[in-house]
Amino acid sequence: MEFDKEVDASGLNCPLPILRCKKGLSELEATQVLKVISTDPGSVKDFNAFCVQTGHELLQLVSSDINFTFYIKKRSA
């Protein structure tokens, strides 16, 4: 999937992946896509809730045994 910016939150636990995501989204224009890499299993639930609460769109979640990669489209202005 194409993206405009990448944030690597590997090795960080809640709430740091979400905080890094928020910072990354603040640097994007509306409708651009942020890729976030996390190793925290709790981040799956956290990012789903974050997107529902903020209006950003979780486009895709790719997971393996140790990595979770989220593609999040910044909400329109």
Out of 12, 14, 16, 44, which one is annotated catalytic? Answer: 14
Give the pair of three-digit tokens for residue 49.
């809730």
14 is catalytic: yes
In the three-class reduction of DSSP (H, G, I as helix; E, B as strand; rest coil), residue 16 is classed as helix
What string of DSSP letters covers 18-70?
HHHHHHHHHTS-TT-EEEEEE--TTHHHHHHHHHHHH--EEEEEEE-SS-EEE
Q: Which residues are catalytic?
A: 14
